[in-house]
Amino acid sequence: MQKNYRRDTLSMASRLFAPIELRGTTLPNRIVVAPMTQFSADDGVAGDWHFVHLGQFALSGVGLILTESCYVAAAARNATSCLSIYSDAQERAIGRVAAFINKFGNGVFGVQLCHAGRKASAKTPSEGGGPRPVSKGGYQAVAPSAVPVSPDWPVPRELTINEIQELIETFSSAAKRVERSDASVIELHGAHGYLLHQFMSPLSNRRTDRYGGSLENRIRFPLEVFEAVRSVFPSEQPVGMRVSATDWAPGGWDIDSTVHLAKELDALGCDYIHVSSGGLATEQDITVGPGYQVEFAAEVKRHVDMAVIAVGQISEPHQAETILRTGQADMVALARAMLFNPRWPWSAAQELGDDTFYPQQYLRGHPSKWGNRGMSIAGNYSFESQPKK
């Protein structure tokens, strides 16, 4: 039983710190740590870096903590140092992180499942990026069509129908491992030019069978993956999907297609959609700025009942609060801002005049305990025991 420090009130002053229920799982607030690839796994196994990197956010009271892209097979990996969950050792390592977050945090831990498709077998950013040839420790990439990332990348092998069916089972097997690891949420990575996104975009999918051509055919594989994962994951635990709302390129995937996909996911019982953009086409033309992707989340939210996560240079508490209060999204995801300040929820609560979770071990750091030497937060507080989820 962990002791929390919070206001003596049943309702929070801000929208950001109001709880939200996804299926049978309650998030204590609307703050999400977005997936951030670390390129720090040893043969896919989460090590001390991941333990500290993800664990620190639990101590900050984040509502939902998502792993970086976690790959479902060895040949699915973007790079050899990417986090994965296709072996027992990898499953145990994710379980170690989950155990810490479940014990010491008050939020929820989720795993993002991914297949890199034609982006597989890449060098890490520290190595300069680009493809890693098979002759230098790389592996054969597969994709919906034999269309490379760019002229500088090798041509991927087009998947057969049988292989597509096998990949659906691969995602299902990974989902079972997530359940055994005691993580509470699964997010499918359908964004940023990875395999699910490759099937959806007409720029990367040139197939002429039931998995290509029309919009309905191009979204068939992502929907089948979702159904397979949903069917094996506990019914009370959420499954969501991250999507790119647009390829930012002529003739590519766009917001209208995203809305269509979102409606289909909603009908299948998807619990949330995490709306990002880009990552598939080298010719993408993106105008970047604070909240530059929020409009896409807002458009999706107008058409679905499931929860919507907005992301994209959201860094200021009042900015996040405004997104939620104006109904543009139900949750906000942060990445760089959370790296810069892992205690962002504490700072946000201070700025919004609200309060949030502090681990018992850190209660002395609460501003109300600083006396006349530091900051204070308006409101009456008390220690009380709260049952863990």
Catalytic residues, which ones? 194
What Cα–Cα distance (Å) separates residue 380 from each residue in 7, 17, 353, 372, 377? 6, 17, 12, 17, 9
What own/partner pairs with CB < 8 Å and gap ≥ 24 does 345-348 have?
345/29, 345/31, 345/60, 345/61, 345/62, 346/60, 346/61, 347/317, 348/16, 348/17, 348/31, 348/317, 348/320
| The Cα angle at residue 70 between residues 67 and 72, in degrees rounded to 5 | 155
For the record, the structure tokens of 136 come out as 């230098």
Q: Are 129 and 123 in contact (CB under 8 A)?
A: yes
Helix (H) or strand (E) holding 88: helix 88-104
Q: Which two tokens stand for residue 109?
A: 């831990």
Residue owning tokens 């962990």: 2
Q: What region does 158 belong to: left with phi over 0, alpha with psi -120 to 50, or beta?
A: beta
Q: Output the 3-class SS for 205-246.
A: CCCCCCCCCCHHHHCHHHHHHHHHHHHHCCCCCCEEEEEECC
Rounded Cα gap, residues 374 and 46, in angstroms: 38
What six digits make up the tokens of 94?
């994710």
For the chain, the distance separating the N- and C-terminal CA atoms, rounded to the nearest angstrom, is 10
If you ran DSSP here, which 8-state letter would residue 157 be given?
E
* Cα–Cα nearest to 294, from 256, 345, 245: 245
Name the amino acid, one letter, at 193: G
Sign of the Cα torsion 383, 385, 388, 389 reads negative
